Structure formats: structure tokens, C-alpha cells
Amino acid sequence: MAVSFVDERERVIRQQQDSILELSTPVLQVRERLLILPITGVLDNQRARQLTEQLLRGIRTHRARVVVIDITGVPDVDESVANSLVQTVDASGLMGAEVIITGLSSEIAQTLVTIGVDLTKMRTVGDLQGGIEEAERRLGFKVIRDGDAEH
Amino acid sequence: MPSTEPVGSTEPLRVSILTQGRYLIVSIHTALDDSQMVRLQRDLIDQVGRQRSRGIIVDLSTLDVLDSFATRTLTQLAHAAQLRGAVTVIVGISPEIAIAMTQLSLQFDFVHTCLDLEEGLARLAELTAGSERRASTDRGDDDH
């Protein structure tokens, strides 16, 4: 009986962990066919897996063609998380979506180069703004500010 | 008494191949075993030739799993189709299959991947418009 009480508590804890994970990696549509996935905090394997699943479901739901994954808030990644990110990019591609990764810190940039991640598969842009602008270009959006002279 | 199932009309339809203009649309309804996959590959290449199709869409949305044999067979299909003048777009890969494929390092070659049939048809239109332009300017050499 004591065993099942512990099991039940563990189950609740796992469930709450899952909820926290899900809330912490929101997949946001900012334009038609364009998703943004802002990541802050420590990115470990479990979170990377969870984020991949959420992203792919988001790609399906929103019929996204471009995804911007922003890791400005991620201090560093280890080799397995870096590979997990590459897998996320590949999996998104299988579902018809291109991925742009933005906000790489210099630590992460160095880690990726040192590990030898296949960077030809990954499109990266310095910051989120640049990433969104490129995504919009790819989708054929043009942003015009009121008052700017046209032609 | 052993019963012998007549082959053909009573078998559930596993694959349908529809013609849409210069495209072939292939829907796989249930998982195919290895020999069925090989037969599909052969039938499709035949049809591409007979109908002079410009593009093939393979819809995998009803599949739960995709193994390495199927992946290789689809890659070979796409390669052969390309040699016969058709591009191949695969659609309907689920999140689960996408994740499994990347974890096992399975990938397609000679193939474009899109989310669904609508996207796939749009992509085919883009891809085949290019080659029609090239054909009409009568250039001998394609770089793709």
C-alpha cells in the first residue's frame, strides 16, 4: 500500500513536470505559416525532446512553412542537445517547414563548431528580428511602414 | 477446410494511384510489406513513363510507421522517377514518424517533403514550372 502511494505521488510529479515543460516552450504563430519558438533557460535533452514534439504538432496545426527558433535565452548547449537541435531541424523539414535558428550566444556558436555539427543543415541568423525578417521574406511578406515614400 | 482467398477483387485496397493532369497522386492506405513496396515502385515508374508524368505526390498520412526499407524504396522510386523526368514530393509525414526517422538517421534523397496534399501540389507546380521553362528555351543542359 505504501508502494502505491509513492507511485501515485511520482505520477503526479511527472504530470506536473510535463505541464511545466509544455508551458515553458510555447509555439507561437506570428504570421500565417510562420511560427516562433522562443526558448529561455537551460536546454537539456528532455526539454529538447519535448520542444521537438510540440514544435512538430504546431507545424501541423498551423500549417507552418517557416519556424524561427530563438535561443537568445539559452546559455550553452552540450553535444547531445546540439544534435537534438539538428534532429529538430531535420524533422521539421520532413513536415515541410524550414527552420531558422536565432540568438546563438558566442558560447553556443563555439560549441557547435567544436562539436562539428553539420551546420549546412541549419540556417542561423544573429538575432530574432533578423530571423523574423528573413522568414517573412521567404514567405513573401513585405512590411511597409506608413509614411515611408513608396517607389 | 482451408479456404483460399481469391486474389484481387476481395483484397482491401492498399494503394491508390490517381492521375491529376501531369501528376500522379499516390495514397498509401495501409502499411505495405516489402514485396508490396517493391511492386508499387515498379508500377509507379511504369506509369510515369506511360503517362509522361511530370510529378508524383506520395501521401503517407495514413501510415503510423515508416521503416528503413520503405525509406530506401521511396528514395529509389524518386531517383528513377527523376531519370524519367518526374519530381517526387512526399507529404503527410506525421510528427511521430518525423522524429523516429531523424533519430534513426533515416532520410529521403531525390525527394521534396511537404506537409500535406495541398502544399505538395503547390510545390509540384513550382518545381515543374521551372522545368517547363527550361524545356521551352530548348537548352540542352539541365543542372538539376
Residue B134 has pLDDT above 80, yes or no: no
Q: Stretch A124-147: mean pLDDT, rounded?
A: 93
CA separation, residue A83 to residues A116, B23, B45, B95, B127 (Å): 10, 37, 36, 18, 31
List pLDDT tens digits, range A20-50.
Answer: 766 677 899 999 999 999 998 888 898 999 9
B126 CB near a chain A CB, below 8 Å?
no
Q: Which amino acid is at B57?
A: I
Q: What is the pLDDT of residue B140?
A: 47
Residue B16 has pLDDT above 70, yes or no: yes
pTM of the model: 0.84
Residue B142 has pLDDT above 50, yes or no: no
β pairing state of B15-20 and B23-28:
antiparallel
**Nearest one of A105, A30, A99 to A73, comparing CA atoms:** A105
DSSP character at residue A126:
S
> How confident is the prediction for chain A on average, in pLDDT?
89
Question: Which among B103, B107, B115 has CB closest to A96?
Answer: B115
Is the complex ipTM higher than 0.85? no
**Chain A residues with beta carbon closer than 8 angstroms to that of B115:** 59-60, 63, 65, 95-97
Q: Which residues between 85 and 104 in chain B have a beta carbon less than 8 angstroms from any beta carbon of chain A?
A: 91, 93-95, 97-99, 101-103
Task: Name the minimum distance, in Å, from the CA of A36 to any CA of chain B.
Answer: 18
B109 CB near a chain A CB, below 8 Å?
no
Q: Stretch A89-102: mean pLDDT, rounded?
A: 96
* pLDDT cut 70: percent of chain A above it: 95
Say whether B93 and A63 touch across the interface (CB within 8 A): no
**Chain B residues with beta carbon closer than 8 angstroms to that of A53:** 95, 99
